[in-house]
Amino acid sequence: MHSRIFQITTSKVDKENYLNEDTLEQGCSSFYDYCSEITEEERRDNIDYLVNHVLPQSMFEPVDDNTFRYIGGAEEWKREFVDCIHKKVDEITSESALEWIGPVYQLEKTLKNPLNTSYHFYMDEDGFQSYAEESYEFMQFVCKLEPGTLLHIGGVIDYHF
């Protein structure tokens, strides 16, 4: 399967520090089979989809093709996230605890990926980090931001898993 990795930081990323197909560990012992570049048109389309459909709509607004603004809403998002966790925990019983793709697995998925997306996030503006994160780490980062903070998108690459 294919998806995208987005480099998102609070400061503009210099082109030479953009996430690229060689930045992340790939292959054996890695989540990524391989990474590859995408076209500029695919990049624009994926950024648009990220900002307008994947991220919580009440929390962000687009500024331009490579920038969006955090407008607030972390406290409400955290409450909703915790409520979702409680509901998933309530579904776990001694009978269902070990079911294949059962409620424990569903809880684990929610904890790691509360945005329920195959998109990953790379938050290193210098391009030295060798891994990207699922949406929990990204939302943890967002919840520490002040309303009005601009988020800049650097590299966007395809990955296969």
Mean of per-residue pLDDT scores for the chain = 95
- Residue 19's pLDDT band (cuts 50, 70, 90): very high
To the question of pTM greater than 0.75 for the whole model, the response is yes
pLDDT value of residue 159: 95
pLDDT value of residue 97: 92
Report how far apart, in Å, the C-alpha atoms of 76 and of each of 52, 69, 105, 136, 143 are.
19, 17, 25, 15, 10
Residues 71-89 have a mean pLDDT of 98
Residue 29 has pLDDT above 80, yes or no: no
**33-42, long-range: CB within 8 Å, 24+ apart, which pairs?**
33/159, 33/160, 33/161, 34/159, 34/160, 35/5, 35/157, 35/158, 35/159, 35/160, 36/157, 36/158, 36/159, 36/160, 37/157, 37/158, 38/4, 38/156, 38/157, 38/158, 42/158
Cα–Cα distance between 73 and 34 in angstroms, integer? 35
Residue 118 has pLDDT above 80, yes or no: yes
